[in-house]
Chains A and B, each alone.
Chain A
Amino acid sequence: MNIAISASGPSLDAQVNPRFGRCEQFIILDPETMQFKVLANTGQSAGGGAGIATAQYIVKEGIGAVLTGNCGPNAHQVLSAAGVKVITGVSGNIREAVELYKSGNYSSSDQANVGDHFGMSKGSNR
């Protein structure tokens, strides 16, 4: 099943973006074939509820898991309701992150790892 990775650039050599809701783009990737497409995040510019908008948007891609740096409570709730696994704390090169995911090195979190509006400050400390 496809996975979505919050991406800092449009390639597998880009870094994982620490933000979920306010991330500029996602890489939607089939881990079996490593085929992927880049999805510009329309939820990013939402005045409020960016995490909810982004989660709804990428859920439509039929994904089974999200790899990202940080995920707030509202986005986590939406992704969980859609049965999408949320894997937070992911950083570094996207290709390497996918390999770690495939080898079972990540476990999904059953709750948000950051509070509301974390990504408003570009993922740095509030």
Chain B
Amino acid sequence: MIISIASGKGGTGKTLVATSLARSLMDTYSVTLLDCDVEEPNVHLFINPEITSTEEVTIKVPQVRQDRCNHCGKCSEACAFNAIAVLGDTVLTFPELCHGCGACSYLCPRQAISETPYRIGTLEKGSVAGIDFVKGQLDIGRAMATPVVRRVKQCRSDEGITLIDASPGTSCPVIEAVNGSDFCLLVTEPTPFGLNDLSLAVEAVKQLGIPCGVVINRAGRFNEAVEQYCRKENIPVLLKIPLDLKIACLYSEGITLADGLPEWKMEFKQLAERIMELIGERNCNTQR
């Protein structure tokens, strides 16, 4: 079972929820925790995993064999990202714009384009106390987060529970992160900003056909607008984490709720059970 954690707005507590869930479920289930927030991964700060392997993430970019190219321009026409330009008898490639789709080499009538790896980030694998951990990190100066997210997602487990910590927003890296999940937990805060961006995220996951539920973090006096929205959209509010100094202090020290306030373990276990009920997949084949 795959549960993704997204939010729309940044800083609402996705990572706190993802890591607290992982630390609450690890006794009962085999848990794989994927940090797909590849532009600013920070799951590791909360769970302190031991990293056992690091590898490069690459995409394949075109390399043109001038002796075979007849400058027909089909590659350039095919490229949706303007990463290859044909000018007279010159072919220019722009690897930093390439998405690695392979259309140019596929469509080249003279097989003049081969694909060569181009590094865009790294993948780290590790574990801690029953949690398998994978982190993607986009290299500085690279703009293409989505292929790194895709690579991290290849490390999901078919057994137990895979938790995916997505990035904020609703653009390509988030879509890539949550797509294919069995359920998407949307973490929001009871502010106009949180609600606005929550509504964007809800629209996105609905488009993807993924059932979703809401966690209100820093819950307090102003929950009503979020709850009203959720009622209207028929989305369950599954958990409220109060605006609380103790929680804020733990968070600032990189301690999950499950570790700092053990009574929250039960809350997060119940959250996972509610999710399983909602997607109709009771404990079958997920239990350890």
Contact = CB atoms under 8 A, between A and B. Distances in A.
| Interface of chain A, main secondary structure | helix
Contact of B92 (A43, A46, A78): A78
Given A49-B94, A52-B97, A81 B82 contact: no
Contact of B81 (A49, A55, A81, A82): A49
Given A46-B82, A47-B81, A52 B94 contact: yes
B92 A49 contact: no
Interface in B88-147: 88, 90, 92, 94, 97, 143
B87 interface: yes
Contacts of B80: 47
How many B residues are at the interface, by size bracket?
10 to 19
Contacts of B239: none
Contacts of B86: 56
A56 B86 CA distance: 8
Interface string B67-92: 00000000010001111011110101
30 contacts: A46-B82, A47-B80, A47-B81, A48-B81, A49-B81, A49-B82, A49-B83, A49-B97, A52-B82, A52-B83, A52-B85, A52-B92, A52-B97, A56-B76, A56-B82, A56-B85, A56-B86, A56-B87, A74-B94, A74-B97, A77-B92, A78-B87, A78-B92, A81-B85, A81-B87, A81-B88, A81-B90, A82-B87, A82-B90, A83-B88
Interface of B: 76, 80-83, 85-88, 90, 92, 94, 97, 143
